[in-house]
Amino acid sequence: MAIGTSEYASRRKKVLTALKGAAGVVLAGEGSPPLVGKWFADRDFIYLTGITNEHGAGVLFDPGHPNPKFRCVLFLKPLNPEMDDWDGRRDRISEALRERHGFDTVMRTTALPRFLTDAVRRSKRAACLHPFSIFDAPVSPDLAMIRKVAERMPGVAIEDRTHVLPMLRAVKSKAELDLMRRAIKATGAGLEALAAAMKPGVGERELQRILEEGFRQAGAGDPAFNTIVGSGANTTVLHYTANDGIAQEGELVVVDSGASFEGYAADITRTLPVSGKYSKRQRELYTIVLKAQEAAIAVVKPGATMIQVGEAARHVIEKAGLGDRYIHGVGHQLGLDVHDSTPDGPLKAGMVVTIEPGIYLPDEGVGIRIEDDILVTAQGRQNLSSAIPKSIAAVEAMMRSR
């Protein structure tokens, strides 16, 4: 189920309301097609429009415009037929284009400075919607634009509304959850294909290829992030992506990956025994991580914080004497980004978070991480990835079916 134009329009309406009369702008960002992969617009812009491939585009929010059709305007860069010969044909502004994107008004970006200036002149208030940058990074794009307007107009108040889009994005709609379930299901299919190919002597890159092909055969697109397939000592490197090792007899393989379905991400980690069965030591460590994950998942509910969730996992691992070997947080928001936009405050129903404790013992060449995608519900929680084998018995049974 794709996201419909009516849902995008509803999201924009919520932003208009949250601005409380201030003007604001969300920008797609600039760029050109990379040699590897695809260029994607800023995720906040995609969230509000569904448009992924319009360089330099923007949405202007002008709650106080006297004409309702100009309170939310889509701006697209002017047509450039010569560049279109290289990068693809773009449509003229028309009724069909407006209907396709769900906007009453679509204009070219050459008019954006004038319309933004006019919006700020009427309200004398401009709100920042893009996340603020850290102090040694370039200023966020909307703040840079608003500052230019304020330099030319006395009495403009610049307001912080950077919480608006993270809060909206974090609480998923039914359509978004449907897409995420499809991404998770495809991830499970890829993991099953990888498990079927697992044996001593197989290369990490071959396992990655099989995993990601399994995503595509299940109807998903490219991976939502760089796949981690680490065997042996590589299991102890959190963001290992070289994937150029060889899985050996008796080792573990950490697989941290997720399919993307119509832009929405899954993020699953499983730790599999190359030989099909966990050793006694591996079972001992795996059981600790699994208990830590289950303890953390049990805390997930509306009103809980991720700090509390993380403390539940850490308590189990520290009790086992391995606190110093758990070197990362417990999880993160999941959605359009694998590390999705994160609002302040406690968990709310409709959020999807990952829970992924782990322990890493470089001296033993053993790392274990287990990760699931958890929906916060009104009653508590739902494990969206529960169908993917995780217990020792279930993983070993999956490996036996090779």
Tell me: the pLDDT tens digits for 79-126? 999 888 888 889 999 999 999 999 999 999 999 999 999 999 999 999
**Domain at 171-400, CATH from 1.10.3210.10, 3.40.50.300, 3.90.230.10, 2.30.180.10:** 3.90.230.10
Q: How far apart are alpha carbons 60 and 166 in whole angstroms?
A: 18
**323-344 burial by CB neighbour count: b if 16+ within 10 A, else e?**
eebbeeebbbbbbbbbebbbbe
pLDDT of residue 402: 72
Q: Taking residues 361-385, what's their average pLDDT?
A: 98
Question: In whole angstroms, what is the distance from residue 17 CA to residue 401 CA?
Answer: 55
Q: CA 250, 251, 255: angle at the middle one, nearest 5?
A: 140
Give pLDDT, residue 44. Answer: 98
pTM: 0.96
Domain locations along the chain = 5-168, 171-400
Q: What is the mean pLDDT of the chain?
A: 96
We find that the CATH architecture of domain 5-168 is: 3-Layer(aba) Sandwich (3.40)
Radius of gyration of the chain (CA): 24
Confidence of residue 34 (pLDDT cuts 50, 70, 90): confident
Residue 346, pLDDT > 60, answer yes
First to last CA, the chain: 33
Q: Where are the beta strands (DSSP E) in 161-298?
A: 228-231, 252-257, 260-261, 264-265, 268-273
- pLDDT of 176 over the 70 cut: yes
**Token couple for 108:** 């070219």
Cβ atoms of 43 and 30 within 8 Å: the answer is: no
Each residue of 389-399: pLDDT tens digit?
999 999 999 99
Reported as a single tens digit per residue, the pLDDT across 285-321 is 999 999 999 999 999 999 999 999 999 999 999 999 9
